[in-house]
A and B are shown apart, each in its own frame.
Chain A
């Protein structure tokens, strides 16, 4: 399964190469052209069936999913051979304790440990651990030993295996970086179909640092319409209060109407909703306006690009291990394929 490969690949923002390579391999025969730009975006073109002389809109459709994941970076080596680190992207410090990681291109195993509970006064256990006191331990005996293996600037990813949790029902799987490897996997699926318009598949870099890859990719592509695929927040655990779960697992693709970065195009939202209803595909809205996606950058490109985000709900993103439903994934692919074919005939206002 491509999602497995993508999930286990290491691609912290700024170092997306390994993920890009897997995608290049996967899309090889599916696209007519591809290039890697200055930011590290992989931009693939699948030419449309339509002759360029035909008058039709849209001519160019961009679909983006980001390659990068949140992670860590080595900032220094301590005297005892452990590694200092900083976070790359939005990570809650509280999830760092007691985790295994992989360091640098060679994927050197390491751990982020924590003090033994026995040595921590009871009162202190009620407080959040000071992230400045955490370090990565690669087993090196001392500084010079560590220096032979690691350099400041090495990227660090969480070490998490992909696994199917349930073969039936929602077909849940767990793995690392479903935000946004699930979007990448979707985009590869969408490239397996032919469309009337030119489809630009943009596998973007550095989304987690502020939508940086998508911005330049969209400028270069100059699309008529854009879709963004994400693995998005799913907070459907039991709650004390009846508040928004953002999205719910197993309830189908999540369509964004608004987030911190974009108010999505009403016509595209309508296209997705009517397509889903026509085909009986379950769908939901992303029911919160926090968070941002590549659409935030894309829709403000040049004279503006009508954009929308379609996501696969993923629990526990931005942590070492996330969870999603393959049935949500399949529904999302199905919805997008149908919507793209409807879009070949233009967009209802």
Chain B
């Protein structure tokens, strides 16, 4: 029994390692590339405009992320005011005293789509509820409210449900539904821009900046590391010294300096990120190369007759260090995304009206106080998924290309 379980576990684990991480990474990367191209082609039209502060229109998300305002009133007839106009006295009820509606209604709907709500009344022995105030076309049937909003009803629509309990007391629950022309699956930000469009637009900062930083770090850093390990003379000490110095400066300081000097040009900042990442790449490649240079097969390669250049670049780097370079490259991408988000959040990177996920996080910060979670949650998820995607991609590719793990 024990034997078999062990075998299944190890086989399962290795299968996942081999295919799972790589598949995940490739999927996320393809989604990012697709979004990049999509946003490039569509430009500004991407972002639909709507009412500000709209919660996500996908009901699942709205349920999770938003608690709508439902006002509750106790209705008493004013005996003294009959005939003089409004004979109703409304006193607002606290949610702690009584809960008229146990479930929460959706508060947005698109025109042409059916709005339905089956209220769960929080009173014992109640009569059927009626609609005291409702938009045109709304009807109640068997305790369910249905309505198909049309284009004339775009905007705020009040709905008041009138209930009475067995004691004869009358209550009213009031809320409003916002009708929109467009569909906003993830809601809108304060300025009414569709969050889904914003996220797609922001994706353009995930690939190109990473490419700049990774190219600098990998090609220059890798070259420096390989050369200094192979030739191991004065050059090595000089290059190592440079690497140590660069490494000792905190990354964000370099980034802030470049941000200030170039008036927040993210592409120049990414060159800085590349320089920041360079020492790590240099050191890793250098130690890997050193490992192999000490190895006798390097001398046996010269014995065969291979030229020095070929031995370094083909035999050592390409055949043996490929996997490390690939995983370092994907790490550079992930790191660049993180830096971009950080500086944009701080206002030192992408500037409004240009969009990036960091900017969205910054804007969404104040909305958190109003419980408008979606403006922060969705960009944050996108950022996490992208970074993880690159990390998985790196892990998966490293497995695939490392000859010793085969």
Q: Do A and B bind each other?
A: no
B binding-site residues for A, Cβ under 8 Å:
none
